[in-house]
Structure 1
C-alpha cells in the first residue's frame, strides 16, 4: 500500500487593524477613517466572515516625535483599545478580540478586571497582547514618570501577568472565592477579586518580544506569539527555538501558537501582483519617510540628502536620537554597514534601500499561489498561522476573505465553520484550569 498523504496542518488566521505605521497607504482613494467606529466594524465583520481566530489592535501611549515634531504617521484620536473592543463585542459573535495593553504603565488588579469584563461581555473572546515599555519619553505621560530600566521590563511583565492570573484564579467555578495575598518585587495586592470567573478563565495572552528574554517569557507564559519572522528559514528557526523552550515549563507544542505578522498582495497573474506590490511599497515609503527611516539609524539630521541619491558616507552617531517613542536601533553601525553593502551590490538609492530593507514578508501572487504558499509555510513548521496586516483601512481584508479563504478550505487547511464559541476553542488552547502538561 502506498503511504497516506500527510493531512494538512490547520492554519490560524487573525486580522491586524492597520494604522500607525508605514504599512498603511493613506494616499489610496479607498483609504478610510482610522477613527470612525464603522471602519473597525467593517474590518472585524470581514474577519469574522472569513472565520478568523481574532481581531488585533495595536496601541501607542504617546504620539511619537521626530526632531521635535509629531511623526507624520501617527494618528491623533484613535480610540482606546479595550473601550473599542467592548463595543465590537456587541456587533460580532465568534471573533476573538485582542487588545495591546502595556504591563509597564498599568496595575494588575485594574487591568485583570477590565479583561475579565471584556471576556464576560464577549462570551469568552478576550485576548491581551502583553507589551512592555522601557523609555522615559512615554513615561512622561504617567504620574510616577514611568521610567523602567530595560533589564527590569520583563521581570515586571512576568510578575504582572502572574498576579493577574492569581486574581482570575481566585474566583474558581463552583467553589468559594479565595483571597489574594500577593507580595512581590513590583506589586502588592491583597483582597478579593471583584469579577466572577469569566468564560475562558484567563483571556488568551499574546506576546511579541523577540529577544532571548522575550522568547523565554513567551515560552513560560504566552498562548500566542506575534513575530516578525515571516521568511521561511527565519520562521523555522524561530519556531523551533521557542517551541523547544516549552518542555521546561511543562508545556506542549500545541499550547503556544506562533503567528507572524504578514502582508499580502493579490493579482490575477504573478506579474500583476508583483507590479501592484512594488507600487504599494513606493506609496508606503515616500521620499520623506525614507529619510526619516535613515535618520533613525544614523541618529543625525540627514534632511539635506537626496532620497534618490546614495546612502551617507558618514558613520552613524551611536548616541544620536532624533526619534522619541520608538525602539532605538541596538547596533546602528552594523545596520548602516548592511544597508551600504546592499546599496552597493544592487545600485540602490536611499529610498530604494529603505523599501527593500524595511518591508515585512509578504505573500505576493495569485489567490491560488498565496493559498499554497501559506499552507506550505504552516505545514513546514515555520508558523502556526498568520496575523494579516492589510495596507488599506477598512477594506484591506475583503479580497483575501473572498479569494484566498475558500482555496485554503478546499485544500483542507482551514476551517469551514467555527466549532466553538471562545477564542481558546478557536486556537485549540488548553483550559487554564487544567494543570500544564496534563490532558
Structure 2
C-alpha cells in the first residue's frame, strides 16, 4: 500500500535589495514603499500560500569602512510592515525575523501578541541570534555573545516569552446579561521569571491572542541551532534546497524530535528556494543564466572576492585573472555585518580551489563569481518546476519551500498563475484556505490543544 501524498507548504520571502535580487531590472520596484509589500502579499495570498516572510536588517553593511552601496537599502521595521499587511490581507500568515540577542522578552511578546490580534491569528516569529559585534554597536549593551551563549539566551528568551503569552487565562465562557453576547472571561495573570539571562516579574498587558502563541520559526544550521529547532520551533527555515542535502538535513532534524516528546509532523522543514520560470525548459535555462549575470556586476564580483581575500581588491580588473596574493586570514575583516563571511571558514583553501577552477575553465573574476555563486534552485517550465517541487517534498527533502524571487514585487506573479494550478491539479496543494489562522495553514495544533494532548499521553 503506497503512502498518501504529502501536502506541500509554500511561502514567499520578500528579500529586499541584496545579491539575490536584480534591483537594476526595469521591472523591479521599490523595496521600501508599502505598495511593493502589498502587491507581494496579495499575490502570495491569491496563490493560497501559507505565509509571507520578512528578514531583518539591524545595521547597514559595510565593506572597507564604507557603506556597502551595491545591495543595501533602508529596511523598514518588521512589525510595522507586518501590521500594515494585516490590513490588506485576510488569510496570509505574517512571519517576521526578530532578534533574541538585543531585544527583551516582554517587548517582543507584546509586539507579537498584538500582531496576532490585529491579523486574526496569523503571526509568526523567526527567532534568530546575532553573531557579530558590529551589529551590536547599534544597541545599548554593545558587543555580542559567543555561539553557546547566544543559543542559551535564545532558549530562555523564547521560554520567557511563552510564559508571558500563557499568563492570560480564558477558559470560562460567560454570557453578558445586558447584550446577550457571549464573552470570554479573560483573566490577566502575573508572571515571574528568574533565570540566567532574565529576571522579570509583573503582568502581561495583552490578552491571549487567537493562536495562543505565534508560530515559531528558527533558521540556525549549527548543531545548537538544530537542537533549538527540535526542542522549541514549529518550523525551520533551512538553506538545504537540493535533493540530497535536503534529505540529509530533513532526516537529521526530524530524528531529534523524539527526545523532546515530539512527532515528525510537529516541526516543518521549509528551505529557501529561488527559481527561474519560463514557457520552456530551454528558455528557463537561458533566463537563469541571464539573471546570474545581472546579479553579479563587475563591482559586485570584486566585492564578493574581498569576502574571501579580506583585502582591498578594487585595483583588480573583474574581467581579468584572480589575485596571485593569498587572503589575509586576520580576525579584523574588511566586510562588516555580512553572514557570507562565515561561509568561508578556510579562506586559503577556498582561494586555492577557486584558482584551480578559474584556470581549468579560463574564467575571469566575474566568471568565477557567476558560476560559483547563487544558482536558482528550480529552473524550467511550469510543469518542470511543479514536478521538481513535488518530487522533493514526497522524497522527504522538505515539507515545502519559501520562495525567493529575483524581482520584487512582481517576481511571484507567474509562479502563482502558472505553477500553483499544476500543484493543485495533482492534489498536493490547497485550492482554498481551510481555516483563518497560520496554525491552520501549517497543520499545527493550538498550544492549548497540544498541552491537552501531552497530558493525555
Q: Please report the TM-score for the alignment, with normalisation by the length of structure 1.
A: 0.96
Is 1:245 equivalent to 2:269 in the alignment?
no
1:227-306 correspondence to structure 2 within 5 Å: 227-306=238-317
Is 1:343 equivalent to 2:355 in the alignment?
no
> SS state of the match for residue 306, structure 1?
coil
How many Å apart are 1:202 and its aligned residue?
0.9
Given that 1:64 and 1:70 are in contact with CA atoms closer than 8 Å, whether structure 2 keeps it comes out as yes
* Structure 1 CA distance for aligned equivalents of residues 259 and 375 of structure 2: 32
Q: Which residue of 2 aligns with 1:413?
A: 428
Given that 1:230 and 1:361 are in contact with CA atoms closer than 8 Å, whether structure 2 keeps it comes out as no
* Structure 2 CA distance for aligned equivalents of residues 241 and 232 of structure 1: 14
Give structure 1 stretches of 5+ with no counterpart: none
**1:13-60 deviation line (CA, Å, top 9, x unaligned):** 001012131111011111111111111000000000000000001110
Is 1:51 equivalent to 2:48 in the alignment?
yes
How many Å apart are 1:146 and its aligned residue?
4.2
Q: Which residue of 2 aligns with 1:323?
A: 335
1:110-189 correspondence to structure 2 within 5 Å: 110-174=107-171, 176-189=187-200
> SS state of the match for residue 237, structure 2?
strand
How many Å apart are 1:419 and its aligned residue?
0.3
Q: CA RMSD in A?
A: 1.6
Q: 1:337 to 1:202 in 2, by over 3 A?
A: farther
Q: Which residue of 2 aligns with 1:215?
A: 226
How many Å apart are 1:307 and its aligned residue?
1.7
Q: Please report the TM-score for the alignment, with normalisation by the length of structure 2.
A: 0.92
* Structure 1 CA distance for aligned equivalents of residues 121 and 88 of structure 2: 15
Is 1:357 equivalent to 2:368 in the alignment?
no
* Structure 2 CA distance for aligned equivalents of residues 60 and 322 of structure 1: 19
Given that 1:104 and 1:146 are in contact with CA atoms closer than 8 Å, whether structure 2 keeps it comes out as no
Q: Which residue of 2 aligns with 1:39?
A: 36
* Structure 2 CA distance for aligned equivalents of residues 143 and 401 of structure 1: 43
Given that 2:10 and 2:401 are in contact with CA atoms closer than 8 Å, whether structure 1 keeps it comes out as yes
| Aligned residue pairs, count | 436
**1:186-244 deviation line (CA, Å, top 9, x unaligned):** 11110121111101011011111111111111111111111111111111001101111
Give structure 2 stretches of 5+ with no counterpart: 173-186
Q: Which residue of 1 aligns with 2:183?
A: none
Q: Which residue of 2 aligns with 1:309?
A: 320
